[in-house]
Structure formats: C-alpha cells, structure tokens
Structure 1
Amino acid sequence: MPSSAPLIDIGRIYAEPAALDLPRGREIVARWPDATIVPVESHWRIPELHGDEANVRRWVRIKREALVVGVKKTLTVRPNGRSADFIAPSTANGCAMACAYCYVPRRKGYSNPITVFANIDRIAGSIVKHLRTQGPKPEPNQCDPLDWVYDLGENSDCSADALLSDNVHDLVDLFTSVDGAKASFATKYVNRELLKWDPKGRTRVRFSLMPAAMAKLTDIRTTPVPERIAAIDDFVAAGYEVHVNFSPVIVEPGWQDAWRELFRQLDAGIGPAAKAQLACEVILLTHNAALHEVNLGWHPTAEEVLWRPDLQEPKRSENGAINVRYRTHEKRGYVQELLALIAEELPYCRVRYAF
C-alpha cells in the first residue's frame, strides 16, 4: 500500500485548551497556520476520531491529516528491563505510520493519529527527578553496561514525532547534560534532521528491520528497509549509538531465507564503526483480536500473515491484555533458528534479548 502523499499534512488540530496555554502547544499549532483548531476536553475522548467504526476506512488519511495536542497527565517513570531500564513518560502517543501489527491502536478504537504532549518541561523534569533517585548503575545488564537507559518512545516513533515539535530534540539535549543515563528509542522512519543534532553518544537509536517484502506488506508508510540500513552509518557518525531491532519476526513459508538475506544486506550496508558498536533485539510477532478486526477494515491482506490461528495461542501480556503469540514450543524453536542465523551472518552483533 505505498503512497505518494506526504507523511504528515495537518489540516485539523484537536487541542486541549490547557495545551494551548503552554509555549510548546502554541509552537505546535503555529506550524500549521491554515489548520482548523478544534477544542476538546480530553485528548482521549474525541468522538469523531475514537470509537467510530467508519474511521477504519480512513485509517491512513486520519494519520496524515489529523493531529491532537494535549497535556500528559501521568508522569510516572516505569521499570522495563528489556529495551531499556526504564520507560520515560511519553512525549507523544500514536503514529503517522501505519504498521499493521502496532499495539498502540488497541487502546484508541478506530483511529490512531499522533497526540503530542505540550508539557515537555514537566516530562523532562520527571525524568531528571527519577534519575537523581537512582544513583550510579550498580552493575552491567543487558540494557547497558554503564548507564541507566530510558526509553523515550514507547507509544510513538520519535523520528516522526520530531516532524511535529521540538519535544524529542529537547530530550536528546537533556541526556547530554546528565550523568549516568542515556536515552533510547526505536524507529522505522529515517528523519535526517536528527543528524543535525548533537547527541554526544547519549542517545541510542534502534532501527527496526525486517525482510523488505514483509515490510512492504505490513510496515505501511514507513521508510523502506534499505534506506533504514543506509542511514545507520550516518547516525553513528553524527554521534548516536545505533542498535537494530529484528522485529517483528513473522513466520511464513521461507521466513528463514528471507531473514538470512536481510542479515547479509545489513552486513554489506554498514561500515566498521557501526559494526563495532552494534547490538540487536529479536522480537517475535504478538497480535490481538481487536486489532485483527480493525485491520480487516483497511488492510485485510496483511492479516493473512499476521492472524495465524494454526500457529498462535492466547497469551496474557504484562498489562493484562489478551493477545495471541506463536505457540510456546514452536516459538522457542523459531527464536533459536533466528539466533543461529545471526551468529552465522552477523557474528559481531550482540543479541541483547530475544523473545
């Protein structure tokens, strides 16, 4: 489902009045002076966006044309232990891209445009306050050998968020000014404006990769995989730590050969500096019945590979939701197959975790 339309072309902004009272909220709105401003009481309750089944047919268009500006109410830093030691409060929620397997829309009903939070000062302050209570990291772990790692983009893609506001830039700068911590975010969008920043090695960018044919089917509106690989050396040279996510791994006939080819493309596409610091995460597909129903309304072809009752079983996630994942025994075998391929094709790439 390729599209020649711009990733973001905002024509309608749903804004909480409290957000427009803040400098960042006013800056965001000023970027689209011709957009219609629609006041809303809550960024979570917008009837014409959320909960309206008719919006499924406009899934991608809403992502491109609608923006929500709100105030982040919950500023809790949560423990993680996989991608990062901690999950920082989100500066945004939702995404301009439209990956068919994305979990964020499960909470938003039938529409998932980006919500940007205007109270960036309080978000940044909550991170600094939390870090001060931690003290130095007592011992190495799989997140990082030296620093506490804070994930910035649990519910969004920070590279795309940077098209909308200076929130991500502010946090990248923040982590250059504190000791003992670094930022981290995963992305499927190459935003070369980030190369103009000065992260000083204190931000880890994790480029998500999968075989190109599968990405074309399921990673809608994202940067093509070869372009993501081609950007890695540039981001390393700009002062970022760059890792990769092999995610999600989607099982279909011939999937092993497709991943081997991807690993060879990655090996050929990056230089010694990137290889010397490369690490990866391996994440197999998790899906959800509600998202399956939404996808049938706008991209049913993707569901042919994502919704596989013959291979999947229900699984309660850490947040209590009921999802479907590959059956435990088979999944263990899939993981081992992929780890063996990584060891063969990318022997210098440390696997931080796989599940």
Structure 2
Amino acid sequence: MTSPTQDARRVPADLADRLLDIRRIYHEPGIERFPRAQQVLDRYPDAERIEVPSHQAIPGLYGNEGNVEDWVRNKREVLVLGEKKSLSARRNERSSDWIAPSTANGCAMACSYCYVPRRKGYANPITVFANIEKILGYLQRHAARQGVKAEPNQCDPVDWVYDIGENSDCSVDAMVSDNVRDLVDLFARLPNAKASFATKLVNRALLDYDPRGGTRVRFSLMPAETSRVVDVRTSKIADRIAAIDDFVEAGYEVHLNFSPVIVHENWLADWSELLDQIADGTSERTRGQLAAEVIFLTHNEGLHDVNLGWHPTGEDLLWRPDLQQLKRSQSGQWNVRYKTPWKGRWVTELTELIAAKLPTCRVRYAF
C-alpha cells in the first residue's frame, strides 16, 4: 500500500515529467564551483551543456523572433544556470514589504498574460541562480537590519514580508533545485520575517517542508473557464483549491491571489461561481486565515504581438480594445488597462462580491 507521503511525492514527479524534459543547459563559465549548480547538472545528466558568457545574453535564445514558434518547447527543454551577481531587496509595499533577490527567473509554465517574457525576448525558460548561499546570507542580514516591525501594514501585521518569486513560480523552481527549500528553511528561522510567493502549480512535495508559519503561499485563482484558455501548462483551478487546506495544515500561511482579473461579458457571474467553490472547498480554519489581493489585467502591446505567434486564442480575452485604454509605461512601451471609469466600478463590484461570498477573507489591496 502506498503511504500518503509516497503518494504526495509521486504527484510532483508526474508534473515534472509533463512540464520538463531538459535537453539543453546553458551555463556561465565555471558554474560547477557552486554545489547548487552541480546538483542541477547531476539531476539532468543527459542534457547537452552549452557554456555562455552570461545567463542574460544567450545567442539564438533571447532576442530571436523565430523562437516564438518554439515558445513552449523552450520552456520544456531548456534550462539556464547562472550566478546572481547583484543582490538587493527592493521596496514593494503591495504584495510584500520587499522584493527579495531572485533565486530563479523564468518559468516552465506559459501563462499568456505573464509580463516576464517582455524582458527576455521570445523565450522564457527557467534560469536557476546557483549562488544560493550568498543570497541566503544577504537576506538574513537584511532582515536583521530591519529589526522588529514597528507597526502593522497591509503586507502583514507582525513580520517583514519578502516576495521570493517575483520573476518565477517557486512551485516549479522546487522541481529543479533545492533553492526553494533553502528559502523556506531560512524564513522558518527568522524571527521577524516571512517569505511569500504566488503560484499556479500544486507541487505537493512542498508539503514535506517545515515552514513553521514562515512562508506565505498565495494560490493564484481565476474562473476555471478563463484559466483553461490563458493559464497554459498550469494546475487546474479545482486542484489549486483542493490543495489549500493541505498547505495550511502543513504550516504555511495561505492567501489568495485573484490575478489577473479578466473582464468579459459574463465575468462577474464566473467569479461568483469561483468564490462559492472556494467557500465550499476549504475548512473553517483555512477561511479564517485567508486574505486576498485583487489585480485587474494589464496587458502589453509587445506581448500581444508575441502571443499572436503562438497562442492567438488567448488574445481574444486579453486584448479588448473596446474595454481598454493605452498607457505609456516607464520603459516606453505601450500597456493596455481597462478604461478608468469602468474599472473603478468593476473593482468595487468584485470586492463587494468577495465580502459577501468569503466574509472572513480580507482584501489586502485591489486595483
């Protein structure tokens, strides 16, 4: 008979087989000097190894428009190993107090609204940063300098919150290396700090970690019909909801990431159904500790053009000129957001619906 622990470990293996078939590993010179890099190389012994000057500049991978046709293949078959040379914690004050230095970048999943590919140029496979000990040391020292949090804020009433997955999904990263386990272990020990990451993947191997309340998992949720179109290569919405209680029991704090909220003709009715599913699928204990962030879709003209080359169906939902307005970003690109008068009303409608359907779930912020 299979024990629950053995069964939990088998599920991620199935996920790894579906998401990852690593055949090429691009790596910086001398990357083997890092034990974490050696761990990853040993995990994929048959992969071709290609030395490159920098993880940020890989000829033929980044900036190659022809890679649009191989969008998903690159995510499945390519891995990058590099060193995170510049370490800094950036103030956030929205989903977290600080954005931690990345221990990974990119993703094996392929959500068609993801902003990260805009920066990398027609390919977005996982990059693992191998100097994990240096990153952990930086975070420990940074948290120590903050001292006790003087007053509550919407990030957390007690702890300084560090987002450890801004440019990746930690549930996927944990299938490639032990970086995520090391981060969870660190924040379990820190007396004044908490890790946080959003995820669209149920990786039950994380239930074997010992977070001791030091890590907040934010399960990203949207109505299932919409998710089936735009959440490419992710866990089903029903599976994410079904995992919430298990993560709470394992010692994680679990919040909800209602993002992105995508408006269409029946969007509010779909959200009503989703909120009922959450209420019916979670325990009283879980619902009592829930909080949520609500983020309406921001899309990008450049990403729209890229998506037309590999997943045009998703753009029927994401690119709605009749509902959206253009806004120039700080980087000079054109973003599209829902038109201001309508968006304000829609934000109010959704937050009122959350209050009615999940009255114990505090909305930390909505925009």
- Equivalent position of 1:25 in the other structure: 37
- Equivalent position of 1:340 in the other structure: 352
Q: Is the 8 A contact 1:292 1:307 kept in 2?
A: yes
Q: Is the 8 A contact 1:137 1:147 kept in 2?
A: yes
1:113 to 122, 125, 128: 125
Whole-angstrom distance in 1 between the partners of 2:353 and 2:289: 19
Say if 2:325 is the partner of 1:313: yes
Q: Is the 8 A contact 1:190 1:223 kept in 2?
A: yes
- Equivalent position of 2:143 in the other structure: 131
Over the aligned positions, Cα root-mean-square deviation in angstroms equals 1.4
1:143 to 135, 141, 155: 155
Q: Deviations over 1:25-53 (max 9, x none)?
A: 11111100010000011111112211111
1:192 to 196, 204, 221: 204
**Matched AA of 1:20:** E
Whole-angstrom distance in 1 between the partners of 2:174 and 2:98: 21
- Aligned pair count reads 353
- Structure 2 counterpart SS, 1:46: coil
Say if 2:127 is the partner of 1:101: no
Say if 2:60 is the partner of 1:48: yes
Q: C-alpha displacement at 1:317, in angstroms?
A: 4.6
**Matched AA of 1:240:** Y
Q: Is the 8 A contact 2:16 2:175 kept in 1?
A: no
Unaligned runs of 5+ in 2: 1-14
User: What is the aligned-residue identity percentage?
Assistant: 62
Regions of 4+ moved over 3 Å? 316-322
- Equivalent position of 1:288 in the other structure: 300
Q: Is the 8 A contact 1:315 1:325 kept in 2?
A: yes
Q: Structure 1-normalised TM-score?
A: 0.97
Q: C-alpha displacement at 1:4, in angstroms?
A: 11
- Structure 1 counterpart SS, 2:254: strand
**Matched AA of 1:8:** L
Q: C-alpha displacement at 1:274, in angstroms?
A: 0.6
Q: Deviations over 1:127-185 (max 9, x none)?
A: 11211221110100000000000000000000000000000100100011111111000
2:172 to 145, 148, 160: 160
Q: C-alpha displacement at 1:69, in angstroms?
A: 0.5
Whole-angstrom distance in 2 between the partners of 1:319 and 1:265: 39
Tell me: CA distance 1:230–1:319, structure 2 relative to 1, closer, same or farther (3 Å).
Answer: farther
2:225 to 183, 197, 213: 213
Q: Is the 8 A contact 1:19 1:117 kept in 2?
A: no
- Structure 2 counterpart SS, 1:115: strand
Whole-angstrom distance in 2 between the partners of 1:126 and 1:326: 39
- Equivalent position of 2:268 in the other structure: 256
Q: Is the 8 A contact 2:221 2:256 kept in 1?
A: yes
- Structure 2 counterpart SS, 1:242: strand
Whole-angstrom distance in 1 between the partners of 2:113 and 2:309: 14
- Equivalent position of 2:193 in the other structure: 181
- Equivalent position of 1:9 in the other structure: 21
Q: Is the 8 A contact 2:301 2:333 kept in 1?
A: no
Q: Deviations over 1:204-257 (max 9, x none)?
A: 000000000000000000000000000000000000000001110001001000
Say if 2:68 is the partner of 1:78: no
Unaligned runs of 5+ in 1: none
Tell me: CA distance 1:245–1:288, structure 2 relative to 1, closer, same or farther (3 Å).
Answer: same
Q: Structure 2-normalised TM-score?
A: 0.94
Q: Deviations over 1:283-338 (max 9, x none)?
A: 00010011001100000011111011222122345666542111222111110010
